[in-house]
């Protein structure tokens, strides 16, 4: 991503939806940029400015402010949670494949990482009985999951989510629920946050994915208040708090979240159709599984056991970005992450580039 992200013309490798302009956000949320004028460049608060925190609490915790912390994207939340809760030698179970931060921060801290492999022979479905077995064997301090899932787009059912909570509870483990794509589902209602039923639960959210506000760099962490207080101590050494300028935009977005997400969902749904139609025209050359949520899917290119070279040629010859599966682990070399959330023009241009490369 670092090599090619800013060099290609058509990014169809990223996992977020089409990013909005400030003017679009202002128009959807019905505010004037002049509202920013009187803002004083003053410090915000360790747990987040009160207006944004209140808006997040209204959306996610039934109005309870105490479990809410505003962060610099969910990246900061993941980093602080792992550094606050984990010690070298701790056992951590992480869904596999996964967004790299979800396992590498714990690995860097000297934790033992056990992969809970999604079942690739069954479209990367989640096998809860294998998770239960792993949890019984390794007695983890933490179980880390992300559904709808990056990079495959699969999700779990509410029943499986209840089973997951039960498994974490039986192990006495922290359940880390990365909700980055949680609001953007296609065929089912979004899953509820696993709060309420289990006290040792932490959830991350972000404006980067379903909202199209990646450059805002704002996310949130929902966790037991005593944990947030410990996290705030570490945060004092990092960035102290999120800028009130960013919080201004983020608060507008949360207050209008349903409108924003439903617009982005409709856009993504139309793009998904374009993707599936394209795949249908290339039988035997590409295999695409429709995702349950999010805007990424793990595409297979039959005949290419390692797609890394293909992705490199795609970036260099066609100026199109896909993320080779090996970035998610050696055993995923036969897949590439394809993100269909960008503009329709970008998606069509990117797909045309892949087609030329495959047929040429
Ligand atoms: C599953 C998942 N979690 C968290 C993040 C971090 O996103 P951000 O820091 O932009 O909120 C990403 C980014 O790609 C992701 O895919």
pLDDT in tens, 208-228: 999 999 999 999 999 999 999
Instruction: Strand 142-146: give its sheet, edge to edge.
Output: 68-71, 219-222, 201-206, 174-178, 142-146, 91-96, 112-117
Q: What is the band of 288 on the pLDDT scale with cuts at 50, 70, 90?
A: very high
270 and 251 within one domain? no
Instruction: Strand 335-339: give its sheet, edge to edge.
Output: 296-300, 335-339, 323-324
265 and 236 within one domain? no
DSSP run (H or E) holding 55: helix 50-60
* 4 pLDDT above the threshold of 90: no
Q: Are 70 and 220 in contact (CB under 8 A)?
A: yes
Domain boundary among 196, 231, 255: 255
109 and 157 within one domain? yes
pLDDT in tens, 153-165: 999 999 999 999 9
pTM as predicted = 0.96
347 and 296 within one domain? yes
348 and 199 within one domain? no
Query: Could you give the CA distance from residue 21 to residue 25 in angstroms, rounded to a whole number?
Result: 6
Where in the sequence is the domain holding 123, given as residue range(s)? 22-255
Query: Could you give the CA distance from residue 139 to residue 87 in angstroms, rounded to a whole number?
Result: 15
Residue 256 CB less than 6 A away from ligand 1: no
From 75, 147, 154, 327, mutation site for ligand 1 pocket: most ligand atoms within 8 A of C-beta: 75
Name the residue with the closest Cα to ligand 1, atom 8.
Answer: 73
From 73, 79, 95, mutation site for ligand 1 pocket: most ligand atoms within 8 A of C-beta: 73
Q: Which of ligand 1's atoms lies nearest the C-alpha of 75?
A: 9
Sequential DSSP letters for 29-51:
HT--GGGGTT-------TT--HH
Domain boundary among 227, 255, 283: 255
- 95: domain CATH number? 3.40.640.10
Strands 174-178 and 142-146: what pairing?
Answer: parallel
Left, alpha or beta for 120 (phi > 0: left; psi -120 to 50: alpha)?
A: alpha
- 295: domain CATH number? 3.90.1150.10
Q: Which of ligand 1's atoms lies nearest the C-alpha of 16?
A: 14
pLDDT at 31: 97
108 and 204 within one domain? yes
Residue 5 lies in a domain: no
235 and 96 within one domain? yes
Residue 1 lies in a domain: no
* 5 pLDDT above the threshold of 90: no
Query: Could you give the CA distance from residue 151 to residue 332 in angstroms, rounded to a whole number?
Result: 11
Find the 156 Cα to ligand 1 centroid distance in Å: 19
332-351 per-residue burial string, b: 16 or more CB within 10 A, e: under 16 = bbbbbbbbbbbeeebbbbbb
Residue 146 CB less than 6 A away from ligand 1: yes
Residue 150 CB less than 6 A away from ligand 1: yes
- Tally of helices (H runs) and strands (E runs) in the chain: 11, 12
Name the residue with the closest Cα to ligand 1, atom 15.
Answer: 99
Q: Which of ligand 1's atoms lies nearest the C-alpha of 77?
A: 9
Residue 277 lies in a domain: yes
282 and 201 within one domain? no
Domains: count for the chain: 2
pLDDT at 323: 95
DSSP 191: P
Find the 181 Cα to ligand 1 centroid distance in Å: 9
Residue 2 lies in a domain: no
pLDDT at 197: 81
Average predicted confidence (pLDDT) for the chain: 96
Find the 34 Cα to ligand 1 centroid distance in Å: 31
204 and 132 within one domain? yes
Query: Could you give the CA distance from residue 118 to residue 219 in angstroms, rounded to a whole number?
Result: 26
Find the 93 Cα to ligand 1 centroid distance in Å: 18
200 and 289 within one domain? no
Query: Could you give the CA distance from residue 169 to residue 207 in angstroms, rounded to a whole number?
Result: 29
Find the 265 Cα to ligand 1 centroid distance in Å: 18
Percent of the chain with pLDDT over 70: 100
Residue 333 lies in a domain: yes
Query: Could you give the CA distance from residue 149 to residue 124 in angstroms, rounded to a whole number?
Result: 10
Residue 212 lies in a domain: yes
Residue 99 CB less than 6 A away from ligand 1: yes
118 and 186 within one domain? yes
Find the 127 Cα to ligand 1 centroid distance in Å: 23
Query: Could you give the CA distance from residue 207 to residue 124 in angstroms, rounded to a whole number?
Result: 26
Find the 81 Cα to ligand 1 centroid distance in Å: 14
Q: What is the band of 360 on the pLDDT scale with cuts at 50, 70, 90?
A: confident
pLDDT in tens, 71-108: 999 999 999 999 999 999 999 999 999 999 999 999 99
326 and 244 within one domain? no
Residue 4 lies in a domain: no
Residue 148 preceded by cis peptide, ω within 30: yes
pLDDT at 126: 98
Find the 272 Cα to ligand 1 centroid distance in Å: 21
Find the 264 Cα to ligand 1 centroid distance in Å: 17
Q: What is the band of 3 on the pLDDT scale with cuts at 50, 70, 90?
A: confident
Residue 230 lies in a domain: yes
């Amino acid at each position: 991503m670092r090599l090619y992200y800013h060099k290609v013309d058509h990014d169809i490798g990223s996992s977020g939806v089409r990013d909005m302009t400030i003017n679009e956000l202002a128009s959807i949320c019905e505010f004037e940029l002049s509202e920013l004028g009187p803002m004083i460049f003053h410090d915000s608060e360790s747990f987040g400015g009160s207006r944004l925190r209140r808006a997040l609490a209204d959306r996610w915790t039934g109005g309870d402010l105490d479990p809410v912390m505003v962060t610099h994207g969910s990246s900061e939340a993941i980093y602080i949670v792992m550094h606050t809760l984990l010690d070298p030698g701790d056992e951590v179970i992480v869904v596999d494949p996964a967004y790299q931060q979800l396992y590498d921060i714990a690995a860097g801290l000297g934790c033992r990482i056990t992969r809970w492999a999604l079942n690739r022979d069954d479209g990367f479905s989640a096998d809860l009985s294998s998770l239960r077995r792993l949890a019984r064997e390794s007695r983890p301090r933490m179980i880390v999951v992300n559904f709808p899932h990056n990079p495959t787009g699969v999700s779990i059912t509410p029943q499986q989510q209840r089973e997951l909570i039960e498994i974490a509870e039986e192990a006495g483990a922290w359940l880390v629920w990365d909700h980055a794509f949680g609001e953007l589902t296609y065929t089912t209602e979004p899953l509820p946050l696993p709060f309420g039923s289990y006290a040792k639960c932490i959830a991350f959210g972000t404006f980067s994915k379903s909202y199209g506000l990646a450059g805002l760099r704002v996310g949130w962490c929902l966790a037991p208040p005593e944990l947030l207080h410990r996290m705030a101590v570490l945060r004092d050494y990092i960035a102290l708090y999120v800028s009130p300028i960013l919080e201004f935009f983020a608060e507008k977005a949360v207050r209008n979240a349903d409108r924003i997400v439903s617009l982005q969902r409709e856009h993504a749904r139309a793009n998904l159709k374009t993707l599936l139609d394209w795949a249908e025209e290339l039988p035997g050359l590409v295999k695409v599984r429709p995702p349950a949520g999010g805007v990424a899917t793990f595409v297979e290119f039959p005949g290419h056991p390692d797609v890394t070279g293909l992705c490199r040629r795609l970036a260099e010859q066609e100026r199109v970005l896909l993320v080779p599966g090996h970035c998610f682990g050696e055993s995923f070399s036969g897949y590439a992450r394809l993100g269909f959330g960008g503009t329709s023009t970008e998606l069509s241009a990117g797909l045309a580039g892949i087609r030329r490369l495959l047929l040429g």
